[in-house]
Amino acid sequence: MAPTRDEAKHLLRELPYEAWLKVGYMFPPKGISRRKAGSLRELMWTLQPSAKSLPTVRLEVVARWLREKVGDAELAMRIEAIHTGEGSYAEKCYLAYQAIKARHDELAALAQGGDDA
Amino acid sequence: MKDAIEYPNAHIKGGYAGKILHLKLSTLSHETIPTERYAQWGGGNGLGTAIFWDYCEDKTITDGRCEENVVVLATSPLCGTNAPAAGGRCEVVGVGYGQIPIGWFTRSNFGGRYSSMMKYAGWDAVVISGKAPHPVWVEVTNDTVVFHDARGLWGKGTKETQLSILARLDKDGNGWGWQPLPGKKDVGVEYSTQRPAVCCIGPAGENQSMFGCLVHDLGNGAGQGGFGAVWGYKNLKAISFFGSGGIKVADPMALVEARFQVKERYAADVEKPDIYQWGMLGRVFTSTFVGLPSDNRRMQACMGCVMGCRSRYDIGYGNEVSCQETSWYGHYAAKYAGGDPKTMAEVTMQIAEYCNDLGINSYPFEHGLDWLERLWHEGWLGKGKKVHTDLDFGQIGSLAFGKALLEAVAYRKDIGEDLAEGFIRAAVKWGREEDTKNGNLLFPYWGMPEHGYDPRAEVEWGFGSIMTDRDINSHEFNPLFWKPTIDIAYGRNPRIEAEEVVKLVAEKLEPYVDGPKCLDYSDENIYSDAVMNLTRWFIHYSRFWKNSALFCDLRWADLFDTNAPGNVGATADPTVGEQVFWNAVTGEGISFLDGLARGHRIFLLQNAIWALQGCHRDMVKFANYIYEKKMEEAEFFPFYFWPCRDEHGNWSYQDVLHRHLDRDKFEEWKSRFYAAEGMDPTTGWPTRKALEAVGLGHVADELHRHGKLQEEA
């Protein structure tokens, strides 16, 4: 069942700092940059493929964060399935990006839509 | 000058300009030092260290911002030649500012064309002593040296400063067509189509911020060491070199032949680049870590480089920015831009350019900004908070916030007054000392930020940093991490299997090491003699071949290279190794190992200086979190592959996450390291025996006078 507008807004909210997810990028040969993501949207573009860097995330931690901090069990399940599925780390990051983007776009459309039914 | 080192056997066949310029700022005068006295130190780091020893009369100083401090900008014989990726670096040494607990005698380095132009003007190095009575900039045109009043330049950014100086030096106002300049010796006037090369400081240096760096052209900066602050104290705004000379090469055909050999064996095919290539010399690489805001660009390279790693664009900003300055703000910019990659790139490139204009070393922000953001969210930092700031962290990621933060640091405004002393000192002042110990601030050694390679995993980087004076920032071994890690991340078999790559590398390290065990990064081996000897090779190589001969860190050492038959790298190769180029230019005929021995000698002399400054082995320790906390990348980074050997002797790439260093084992490792290097394990100070063995008995005498010599029984 699709989230309501309020639920969509809730899932897209920026979390309190203590709940931010540790993420990072690897920039050879500069090294690893450690950053944090505070929302679903921020996680989405952190995972966005780039020719300049490789995202550094642990997908099982991402899934747990989505479930426990963001509150999106449905997306967490999708990420867990990607994590335990076939493919390289980079392929899984890309699949996770696609899944998170699809979910983000869905939620954004709902959040921007009309009043709740 | 005291205790001058005499080198009666020093000789010069090629590569050197022959003289060194000593700028005496206190009297606005200069003198010429014959290079021959220092030629046996090679160039760069070694030559500069030897000059510092001779010309700094008080080597106990611990803050480079003083009249007694002597700063040397030094070239190498290879500068200005076409030795591959070795013609354009310039080394900076002297007592720095901003390290913890002491402002060590330290080094930095920048690229471009400054060192080449210094030599074309007839100088191998410039020595800076004293303090000018007012801001000055120095014009060096061939043999002519002129001190100019720089009060009109004080306060200007590095770009405007350089443009102003170029305009001043454009004698006939023709916008740098043919330019007349005073000729050398009996030649009246010579002409050049070149432009002068200027090295200068921006406001960060003027205001003596530890972030202050030296900047040349748009994107070449000597960041670590706080030398911008040292220049700022000394009232030195800029030094310009403009020359019409050349460089005598001892064996030009040998140089050309070796260069062609490098091209034949290692050069990338620019039409069909091998994007999965392993190796340093032959890789295709751009050092801008952000999606580019424009597709219209052209490569920009340092003098003599085989591959320009920077770019110039058609958008009016971001020219020549590179490396960390293009990554530290990117994530925040992306967040502020809602993930829009174009806006993120535009902001990131403009912030990078602003760093260079203000003369700011952005590396401390790599982890420092994340920490500031944490303090702001915790309510520790903010308007009216325990640490007051008018900076609006709610706007972090915006161009305006980034500029405001940089200006705060450059002009010592707002929290920049404290941050200009360094993040560690600011944390202590702000009641957050615990953050310096628990890893909330990732500054593992000497108050310097972690480079992006954690010492708990990449131990040689950590050991090489803590046993010297700064983040070593030397990439000899670290492709052994990111090359296999990237291949594995993308589901590819590693281009070179672990068993092969460790053999390839270990052969390059002989006779320092006996086989590949030195490259076993497993928990059981990292404190071994083998890794200790790898670290010694690492320091000696970087001291001489990289920082004295000035081979570029982004191309050398080339310890393996898939562009070449058998994946054999160029380093130490009898036909294309570092020593081949050195010998072709200088005519010296040294071996690769001779260069490493020079690196050891340089390191001993530097340890003598550090001892006089107050260094003791008890100070040589990482931040607590390196010993007490396992790597937190385990929370977000899935793997950190290094070659490891199992109990059966089989090699593979293994994940070395989930560990911290063992304090006791490292202390014991240090004792063996000191003994092997000729230093007293109880103090870490060089021994007389070791110093005398390399012709530095007078250094031992000086240590003895200061009570810093453990006399051998």
Report pLDDT digits (tens) over B82-137: 999 999 999 999 999 999 999 999 999 999 999 999 999 999 999 999 999 999 99
B639: contact with A, CB 8 A cutoff: yes
CB contact under 8 A, B452 and A31: yes
pLDDT at B268: 86
Q: Could you tell me how many CB contacts below 8 A there are between chain A and chain B? A: 115
Q: In percent, how much of chain B has pLDDT > 90?
A: 84
A94: contact with B, CB 8 A cutoff: no
Backbone angles phi and psi of A87, in degrees to 5: 120, 165
What's the average model confidence in pLDDT over B591-609? 98
**Burial (Cβ within 10 Å: 0-12, 13-18, ≥19) of residue B527:** buried
CB contact under 8 A, A61 and B488: no
CB contact under 8 A, B331 and A35: yes
Please say whether the beta carbons of B69 and B231 come within 8 A: no
Contacts of B341 in chain A (CB under 8 A): 45, 48
Q: How far off is chain A from B324, nearest CA to CA, in Å? A: 7
* Other beta carbons less than 10 A from residue A103's beta carbon: 22
Chain A residue whose CA is closest to B555: A29
pLDDT tens-place string over residues A92-115: 999 999 999 999 999 999 999 855
B482: contact with A, CB 8 A cutoff: yes
pLDDT tens-place string over residues B439-479: 999 999 999 999 989 999 999 999 999 999 999 999 999 99
pLDDT at B6: 42
Q: Which two tokens stand for residue B149?
A: 């009043």
A60: contact with B, CB 8 A cutoff: no
pLDDT at A114: 57
What's the average model confidence in pLDDT over B566-575? 97
Please say whether the beta carbons of B478 and A29 come within 8 A: yes
- B569-601 burial, b for 16+ CB within 10 Å, e for fewer? bbbbbeebbbbbbbbbbbbbebebeebbebbbb
CA distance B451 to B521: 19
Q: Which of A22, A45, A57, A91 to mutate to test the interface with B (most CBs of B within 10 A)?
A: A45
Whether residue B185 has pLDDT greater than 70: no
Nearest by CB: A41 against B289, B339, B489: B339
Whether residue B1 has pLDDT greater than 70: no
Confidence of residue A117 (pLDDT cuts 50, 70, 90): very low
pLDDT tens-place string over residues A43-93: 999 999 888 888 999 999 999 999 999 999 999 999 999 999 999 999 999
Confidence of residue B26 (pLDDT cuts 50, 70, 90): very high
Whether residue B2 has pLDDT greater than 60: no
pLDDT at B675: 98
pLDDT at B712: 56
Please say whether the beta carbons of B653 and B566 come within 8 A: no
Closest CA to A66 of A26, A107, A115: A107
Whether residue B215 has pLDDT greater than 50: yes
Q: Which of A30, A41, A89 to mutate to test the interface with B (most CBs of B within 10 A)?
A: A30
Confidence of residue B9 (pLDDT cuts 50, 70, 90): very low
What's the average model confidence in pLDDT over B576-582? 98
pLDDT at B489: 93
Whether residue B3 has pLDDT greater than 50: no
Q: How far off is chain A from B360, nearest CA to CA, in Å? A: 18
Q: Which two tokens stand for residue B89?
A: 């670096």
CA angle B30, B34, B38 (to 5 degrees): 115
CA distance B165 to B150: 10
CB contact under 8 A, B323 and A21: no
The set of residues, in sequence order, having a beta carbon less than 8 Å from that of B384 and lying 6+ positions away, is: none
Q: In percent, how much of chain B has pLDDT > 70?
A: 97
pLDDT tens-place string over residues B229-262: 999 999 999 999 999 999 999 999 999 999 999 9
Which of B179-183, B340-344, B420-424, B626-630 shows the lowest per-residue confidence on average (mean pLDDT)? B179-183
Q: pTM here?
A: 0.96
DSSP string computed for B383-416: TTSSEE--S-GGGTTSHHHHHHHHHHHHTT-TTH
pLDDT at B711: 65
Q: What is the three-class DSSP state of B269?
A: coil
CB contact under 8 A, B289 and A42: no
- A55-86 burial, b for 16+ CB within 10 Å, e for fewer? bbbbbebbbebbbeebebeebbebbbebbeee
- Omega into B334 within 30° of 0, i.e. cis? no
CB contact under 8 A, A87 and B491: yes
What's the average model confidence in pLDDT over B482-501? 95
pLDDT at B192: 84
Q: Which of residues 39-58 of A touch B (CB under 8 A)?
A: 41-42, 44-46, 48, 50-54, 56-58
pLDDT at B282: 87
Angstrom CA distances, B512 to B155, B251, B334, B593, B596, stand at 50, 30, 46, 10, 10
pLDDT tens-place string over residues B601-636: 999 999 999 999 999 999 999 999 999 999 876 677
pLDDT averaged over every residue in chain B? 93
Strand partners, B298: B312
Contacts of B367 in chain A (CB under 8 A): 34
CA angle B193, B303, B170 (to 5 degrees): 30
CA distance B545 to B540: 8
Please say whether the beta carbons of B518 and B675 come within 8 A: no
pLDDT tens-place string over residues B270-313: 788 888 899 999 888 778 888 777 778 888 899 988 888 888 88
What's the average model confidence in pLDDT over B45-51? 98
Q: How far off is chain B from A86, nearest CA to CA, in Å? A: 11
Q: How far off is chain A from B442, nearest CA to CA, in Å? A: 10
